[in-house]
Amino acid sequence: MKLLIENYFQEINNLVSACQFVRNFELIADKRSGYGGFIRGNIYFLDNSLLHLREFVNVKNGIYRGKYAYQYMDAANNLIFRYDNAQHHQKLNLANYPHHKHQGSEDNIISSDAPMLADILLEIEELFDGENHN
């Protein structure tokens, strides 16, 4: 049985709901077809940091995200990291272009894999653990 877009949206909601370090969140899912859609939202964490996310996704033949961005900001609204696949850094010759990560600033750009939201939440959890959050 193929995954339908509603199921994917529900999996995202369940994933975020299960995170113990999430204070609250808002997700807006827009179904474009039985298999395609757009999801965006904000996830607020216990330390007042924030993750903005957006994905254009099609699940007909596996999970394919045509465009994505996950931007994680601290409580003072400073960039901690952003993953995206915008095609604006072609001149940098990144190994996994167009997938890349902005680390700590807009100008510090490194090659990255195309992370899923679960990977992003794990990375944020590791940051929490490193700062001794409970």
* pTM of structure: 0.89
Q: Which among 46, 101, 100, 55 is positioned nearest to 74, based on CA atoms?
A: 46
Q: Is 111 exposed, middle or buried (0-12, 13-18, 19+ CB in 10 A)?
A: middle
Percent of residues, the chain, with pLDDT higher than 90? 71
Give, for 124, the enclosing helix (H) or strand (E): helix 117-130
Helices (H) and strands (E) in the chain, counts: 2, 7
Would you say residue 1 has pLDDT above 70? no
Residues making up the chain, counted from first to last: 134
pLDDT digits (tens, 9 = 90+) for 86-102: 877 555 667 777 888 99
Model pLDDT, residue 92: 64
Would you say residue 133 has pLDDT above 50? no
Q: Are 15 and 21 in contact (CB under 8 A)?
A: no
pLDDT digits (tens, 9 = 90+) for 45-80: 999 999 999 999 999 999 999 999 999 999 999 999
pLDDT digits (tens, 9 = 90+) for 116-127: 999 999 999 999
Question: Is the model more confident about 113 or about 87?
Answer: 113
